[in-house]
Amino acid sequence: MSHIFDALQRSEAEQSGEESPALSIATELIQAVERKASAVREFPVDDLAVEHESVVEPAVALQGETSDTSPTVVEQFPLLQVVVSPQSRLVSLVDRESIAAEKFRFLGVRLRQLRQNRLLKKVLITSSIPQEGKSMVAANLACTLARRQQQKVLLLDGDLRRPALSQMFGLGKLPGLCEWLQGEPGPMRNIYRLEGPGCWFLPAGSSPKNPLELMQSGRLSALMDQLTAWFDWIVIDSPPVLPLGDTSIWTRLADGVLLVTRQGATQKQQLQRGLEAIEQSKLIGALLNSSREAASSDYYSRYAPSAVAVQSSLPEE
């Protein structure tokens, strides 16, 4: 298990200075990657660096019909049974006593702490480049948040070009966001409640030829306002930041952005460019994926014999 870079405790002290939050996080993560360059990759989530502003943001007033904001609306969506293999990277479901699952619980705690001081309901999970594990992080985070009683959590597959979440849960092809954006105006019906995880899921659907044009149509913004009224948390899996412009639209719609990096895959320059591409007021943290510190993991295993290391490669995105 690795060191935790607790930027929460130092963020208020830094507010009086002139240091850029994004560059501060970049420096911290770069140093972490360099210190662990020779470490063996084992766990799907290890290092977490979180930075936040202590400014309290006002709540956003949502407009819409009274019936749409009823707590019973989301209960009407169809229930689906997920099919997840024991070797799945969804450790929040298949290996809840592992160090990796504990890391996601820690991430959930950190996000709830941040929400005490700012508006934070729509959390965007992205990365600098493909293959850094953002979809895996988004799925595990949504499952972890959903374990808290009385919390309605929506996992939204916003990667319209290369959706991965439906396959990750063993659901096959489902109509989703793309079908709704291309269809006639009407209520969103392509949301599913996942039995087992306890969260709701809005798949991307069939990849269109013009995803960027669909997202810029104006309907997506109205949909997000409606979903915000229905759910307590919305976890959005978006495309990587650097190759595409899709993420800039999701960033404007999200309350906060969590950037996923991967040891051995993310280069220093890519990390810096990814951080610079994200609006600094939206950047809530960065997560270093696929790192390991053997001494701590051995210590943990003595107290949790059932915890096993996950050694398979990250899922494709």
Among 25-29, 108-112, 146-150, 266-270, name the most confident range: 108-112
Is 1 contained in some domain?
Answer: no
Give the pLDDT band (50/70/90) at residue 231. Answer: very high
Q: Is residue 315 part of a domain?
A: no
Q: What local confidence, expressed as pLDDT, does residue 78 receive?
A: 92
Note the pLDDT of residue 27.
55
Decide if 310 is inside a domain: no
Percent of the chain with pLDDT over 70: 68
Per-residue pLDDT of 279-307, as tens digits, reads 888 999 888 887 655 334 444 433 343 33
Return the pLDDT at 185: 87
Within-domain flag for 52: yes
Instruction: Give a yes or no: residue 251 inside a domain.
Output: yes
In a domain, 34, yes or no: yes
Question: Nearest-CA neighbor of 91 among 151, 155, 144?
Answer: 144
Per-residue pLDDT reduced to its tens digit, 19-35 = 555 555 555 655 554 55
| 191 pLDDT more than 90 | yes
Which pTM value belongs to this model? 0.74
Cα 155 from Cα 134, distance rounded (Å) = 13
Q: Is residue 123 part of a domain?
A: yes
Q: Please report the pLDDT score of residue 142 as a whole number.
A: 96
Helix segments in the chain, DSSP class H: 8-14, 21-35, 91-94, 99-115, 134-146, 165-168, 177-182, 211-215, 219-230, 246-253, 268-277, 294-303
Q: pLDDT at position 38, please?
A: 39
Q: Is residue 231 part of a domain?
A: yes
pLDDT for 293 equals: 53
Place of tokens 């979440």: 165
The predicted structure's pLDDT at residue 263: 78
- Mean pLDDT, to the nearest integer, of 251-264? 89
Question: How many separate domains does the chain show?
Answer: 1
What pLDDT, on the 0 to 100 scale, is given for residue 184? 87
Q: 33 lies in which domain range?
A: 8-56+75-303
Write the CATH number for 252.
3.40.50.300
